[in-house]
Every structure is written in C-alpha cells, then in structure tokens.
Amino acid sequence: MRKKFLFGIFGIIVTGVLIMTFIGEETRDRFNPFIKEKDVFVLVKGEGIPDPDFPQRYMFKLNGVDESGETDEIKITSSVKNFPKESYLKAHVKGKYVYKYEIVSPENIPETAKEVLVKQ
C-alpha cells in the first residue's frame, strides 16, 4: 500500500515537471508564487513585428529596467504597430509575464531607470 502511494506521488511530480517544461516561460512566471510583481520601464524606439502566436497583434521585445536599475527582457504585445516616437512605457510584470502597460512621460520614470534606458 505504501509503495503504491509513493509511486503515485512520484508519478504526479514527474508529470508536473514534464508539463512545466512545455509551458512557455511567461505562463510559468505568471503562476509561480515565488516571483514578485514589479513595475519596469522600457523605451520603445522601433516598430513591432507581427506576433506569430496572435494574428492582428504586434510584438515588441524590449529591455525592461526596474527602479533599482536591473534589466530584464520582456515581450509586450499590442494591436498597434507603432507607438509614438521614443515612447516610454511602464509595464507591470511578474517575471517575464506582462500584466499591463501604459505610456508614461519621462518625468515619471525614476532617475536610475532613465539613465540605463538612455544608454541602451
């Protein structure tokens, strides 16, 4: 009886690990309780490319900078191909998963984040 129970638990764990390897990184980050939510700032310089996962949407792969100056690549999808020239966006993220974003003025960006964005 005990061996069957342990074998069942082991099977559930292996199945969970296998499923997690095939799920995209953004989806894993969304449900991972150990990753903290934070706001990052990005500078959009170019136009988006068509998103292969969603027709009629455009994808922007950008380097996000948080308030402490740490950078991480994020993917923002939008129905518009172009943002206004040299747009600053504030994105609410959890790992690589983007919950929402908004266009912000340069005055609303922390100085440490702005310095890193300008250097890119």
Q: What confidence tens digit (pLDDT) does each residue in 75-113 have?
A: 998 888 888 888 899 999 998 899 999 999 989 888 888
pTM over 0.85: no
Is residue 16 predicted with pLDDT exceeding 80? no
CA distances from 14 to 1, 20, 30, 64 (A): 20, 10, 21, 34
User: Encoding tokens for residue 79?
Assistant: 């129905």
User: For 2-25, what is the mean pLDDT?
Assistant: 80
pLDDT band, residue 30 (cuts 50/70/90)? confident
Of 62, 64, 120, 49, whose CA–CA distance to 94 is shortest? 64
User: Encoding tokens for residue 70?
Assistant: 């740490």
Is residue 54 packed enough to be buried (19+ CB in 10 Å), middle (13-18) or exposed (0-12)?
exposed
Quote the percentage of the chain above a pLDDT of 70. Answer: 99
